[in-house]
Amino acid sequence: MNHKKIQITQWIAIVAICPVAFCLDTAGVSKEKRRVLESRQIYLRGGDLPEWDDFNSKIVAESWNKTFQTDENDAEWTLLIRQVDVRREWTLKLNGKPIGRLKRDENDLLSTFSIPKKTLRSGENQLSLEAKLNNETDDIAIGPIYLCKTSTKQLLSESTLKIKARDPKEPGSPLPCRITIVDQNKSLVPLGINSTQRLAVREGVVYTLDGIAEIPLPAGKYHLFVNRGFEYSQADRAFEIKSGEIQKFEVEISRVVDTKGMVACDTHVHTVTHSGHGDCTMMERMLTLAGEGIELPVATDHNKQIDYRPTMAETETKSFFTPLIGNEVTTNFGHFNAFPFSPDATIPNYKENDWSVLIPSILKKPDVKIVILNHARDIHRGYRPFAPENFNDATGQSLNSRKFLFNAMEVINSAAQQSDQFQLFRDWMALTNGGHKILPIGSSDSHDVNKFIVGQGRTYLQVNDTDVANINVSDAMTALTNGRVSVSCGLLTKIKVNQDFGAGDIATTNGRETIDISCQILSPHWLKCDLIQVYENGILVRQKKIESLNDSKDGAFKHEMTWAFEKRKHDSFFTILASGPGIMHPSWRLSRPYQPTSTKWNPRIFGFSGAVYIDADGNGRFNCARDYAHRLVELHNQDLTGLVKSVGAYDAAVAAQVAGLFHPHHGNLLKSNNAEVWRQGDRSVKTGFVRFLNAWRKSEQAKVKN
């Protein structure tokens, strides 16, 4: 018996995606009723600037027009268009009249457009596509494009696929899961079914509550995938289905990543019902949470406190997770996820812009234990919390009046990826060096059924998980506030120090001459890890490239190793980061950056442990880099020579904090006489001072610019 209530067996691995010819098999539509209007894939750019390097060399135009000859349609016909990476508004016109817009979705998918009776003229017709932008840019691809002489309803119901997913270890138990169907181009295909109380449906995707689904779809050649989030194996089947045909598939999937004693939490979950944007209704959200294996979801609609329990009862999802009432407190100067709220708690004053007033007032609400700073590197309402003018990313210090009183921050937001996916990870380590006890959080920020996958970014809490329908919320909050966490976006990273201490612990050396840092990296077979890195005080101190993880009998990948470090003379903290190639397959696709700062995108999956704090000096508590820096600066006052010499006994993290305290309060480190002194220091001194000064320059330049 597996430790969770809901389990699954081994899945077949996803193979690498190779380029294929652009084609759509429309076996169910006769040649007389199907016409290729455009056989190529065409790259278009809305706006003046390039959005992505991988599109740049392929761009052919800013708009698209196609003239074609046909008969007048005496009944409803259908356009079928492949679209890729559409982020802005693109309007499709037929003979100058709008017939619809491309779906604003980055996924590779097929969109259908109904052509009402007598819309087409006998003879020449023109199809066009134009972008509507507000000083923005959008690189997209369209094509192939097909004109089908049949109604959309008829096209999408040509054949039927019946699927039953089960767990052979738990016969008879319902199995929530995600079904993905793509064509030979790896495009998500339109389906002839709508969402119900037991199914959440979008192009090419069906979340089913019990593993059972009956799916009408166009006839053709397809590939089917069935999974249940990061912890589970993945089944896949290639098949061809003809018009009028019914095909049945039974697949088996299972839990392959060992998360015993850990609860999967997504702290950032929305619905269109209450947030007003995105596309996932309350009913659909219950099904997607169950289908991705999220056991402790936090409802965080904007400035609202929503209780999932009534909808869980309606959808019969009560056995799959324990919900928390949260709130994305959305202000003019930052967004904060707070939880758990009692059902009758009043809404925080989201119009309060003073963090020193707002955050304490939230934490005074009954039961609330966590306030998370969301997407700190993104701009909302003209404000970016960790913009250079507001934040020194070398010392982790606020540069304005807004004190960092939140006790957690998003380090991965899978719907709002950064161009540099590890920037927020480094920010969190800088904050820890700077004396802030701030917890790292992984979340999805999903507002959608499939545009952004709920639970793709997640946080694991060390909590009893034998009954996911009745998780002890008090224990979960204790684990979270104590930092007993692991952040995941495709990989699970566990850390141990001296065999006894894990994430959140203060580790003692107890006379040992070495500090042994051990890790265990876990993933399902369809995700890979190729790099493991050890950070001490935010500094990369060890790394190992992985050719392949050990393939265990249950279909999971696992890698374990231990590093021995010399005993430290001063306190520090350790964390382990594992990463691997990003998955762009439609069954679990990573999203491109939300507010890109680069046209390059090299996606990675990753997971990292919470911090383990080393009490090297034996005083019974953890002293951060800034604590040591304060002592050194006070000891040497304005004696830079003596200060630099003393700092040499510490690492670059302490040196960066010393530089931040000394400059410019005690002396400008850029002046030639001062610069000559610190440049004679040890390597760690020079590294830390340069890191601080580079961050300081960025901040000064940003202040002048703004």
341, pLDDT greater than 70: yes
The pLDDT, as a whole number, for residue 548 is 64
Is the pLDDT assigned to residue 359 strictly greater than 60?
yes
Residue 185 to residues 56, 74, 83, 152, 255, Cα–Cα distance (Å): 21, 32, 11, 21, 29
**pLDDT tens figures, 154-188:** 999 999 999 999 988 788 788 999 999 999 999 99
Q: Check whether 9 has a pLDDT greater than 70.
A: no
Is the Cβ–Cβ distance between 207 and 317 less than 8 Å?
Answer: no
Phi, psi for residue 677 in degrees, rounded to 5: -70, -55
In this structure, what are the phi and psi dihedrals at residue 317, rounded to the nearest 5 degrees?
A: -110, 10
The answer to whether domain 31-154 and domain 263-615 are alike in fold is no
User: In the prediction, which pLDDT does 61 show?
Assistant: 87
pLDDT of residue 192: 97
Q: How confident is the model at residue 514 (pLDDT cuts 50, 70, 90)?
A: very high
Of 57-61, 162-166, 174-178, 686-690, the one with minimum mean pLDDT is 57-61
Q: Which of 45-59, 96-110, 200-214 has the lowest mean pLDDT?
A: 45-59
Which of the following CATH numbers is that of domain 263-615: 3.40.50.1370, 3.30.365.10, 3.20.20.140, 3.30.70.20?
3.20.20.140
- What percent of the chain has a predicted confidence (pLDDT) above 70? 94
Strand (E) or helix (H) holding 558: strand 556-566
Q: Which H or E element spans position 612? A: strand 612-615
Q: How many CB atoms are closer than 10 A to CB 136?
A: 14
> Would you call 516 exposed, middle or buried from its count of C-beta atoms within 10 A (0-12, 13-18, 19+)?
middle
Per-residue pLDDT at 554: 60
Q: Please determine, for residue 269, whether its predicted confidence score (pLDDT) is greater than 90.
A: yes
Instruction: State the DSSP H helix or E strand holding residue 426, giving kind and residue range, or none if neither.
Output: helix 423-433
Residue 18 has pLDDT above 50, yes or no: no
The span from the CA of 489 to the CA of 487, in Å, is 7
**What's the burial of 151, exposed, middle or buried (CB within 10 Å: 0-12/13-18/19+)?**
middle
| CATH class of residue range 31-154 | mainly beta
Give the torsion sign (CA, 675, 681, 683, 689): negative
Nearest by Cα to 38 from 65, 61, 70:
65
Query: pLDDT per residue over 652-675, tens digit each?
Result: 999 999 999 999 889 999 999 999
Name the residue ranges covered by the structural domains of the chain.
31-154, 160-252, 263-615, 625-705
pLDDT given for residue 704 in this prediction: 87
What pLDDT, on a 0 to 100 scale, did the predictor assign at position 358? 98
pLDDT of residue 605: 97
Question: Coil, helix or strand for 293?
Answer: coil
For residue 32, the model assigns a pLDDT of: 56
- pTM tops 0.75, yes or no: yes
Would you place residue 6 in the very low, low, confident or very high pLDDT band (cuts 50, 70, 90)? very low
| Domain covering 160-252 assigned CATH 1.10.760 in the classification | no
The mean pLDDT of 121-138, rounded to a whole number, is 92
Pick the closest to residue 167 from 250, 48, 56 (CA basis).
Answer: 250
Task: For 581-628, write each residue's pLDDT tens digit.
Answer: 999 999 999 999 999 999 999 999 999 999 999 999 999 999 999 999
